[in-house]
Amino acid sequence: ADKFTLEDLEEETQAQWYLRQMLGSANFTGSDLTHFMSGNLSFQIEHHLFPTIPSNRYKELSVKVQDVCRRWDLPYTTGPLYKQYWQSWRTIAKLSLPNRFLKAGPDDAPETRSERMFAGEPRTYTDPQGARSGLVTALKHHTDPEQLRRLTRTA
């Protein structure tokens, strides 16, 4: 899940608020019992997007949110509880270290990425699915070394 600064919140539009809620949240998968035992907070994305909807509706709502994410090429972060829990602690541990321990700079390391990692003009990327310009595709091209090599050759 992405992190945001107070400056990110200044003059934020309603659409930007929804995007921030989605990017700053992550779900965890599990059985119906797992969802029940967590109070349906395993659906954090839906909880952050629609905080006033009863939690027993999140599972049904998640299908619609995932469809919107697919159509607009936006990330929908989900995974098993153990993986989500481990990644949260790993990120906290990494962020407690100086920047020199990051795999990349503070703007494009997976732990601290920001909108500055996409500096410059918006780009359209060509994938087997066709031309796309959403966040999932941009992140894939940004973090895949082979994709980056191809992009820098054609840019």
Low-confidence ranges of the chain (pLDDT < 70): 1-3, 104-155
pLDDT, the chain, mean = 76
DSSP codes, the chain = -----HHHHTT--HHHHHHHHHHT--EEE--HHHHHHTTTTT-HHHHHH-TTS-GGGHHHHHHHHHHHHHHHT----EEEHHHHHHHHHHHHHHHTS-GGGSSS-TTTSTTT--GGGG-SS---EEETTEEE-SHHHHHHHHH-HHHHHHHHHH-
Number of domains in the chain: 2
Residues 19 and 95 in one domain: yes
Domain-embedded: residue 115: no
Whether residues 91 and 153 fall in one domain: no
- Are residue 24 and residue 95 in the same domain, yes or no? yes
Look at residue 23 and tell me if it is in a domain. Answer: yes
Give the closest residue to 142 by CA, choosing from 94, 115, 108, 99: 108
Boundaries of domain holding 61: 6-104
98-114 confidence digits (pLDDT tens): 877 777 666 666 656 65
Q: How many CA atoms lie within 13 A of 136 on its CB side?
A: 16
- Report the predicted TM-score, pTM, of the whole model to 2 decimal places: 0.67
Residue 85, domain member (yes or no): yes
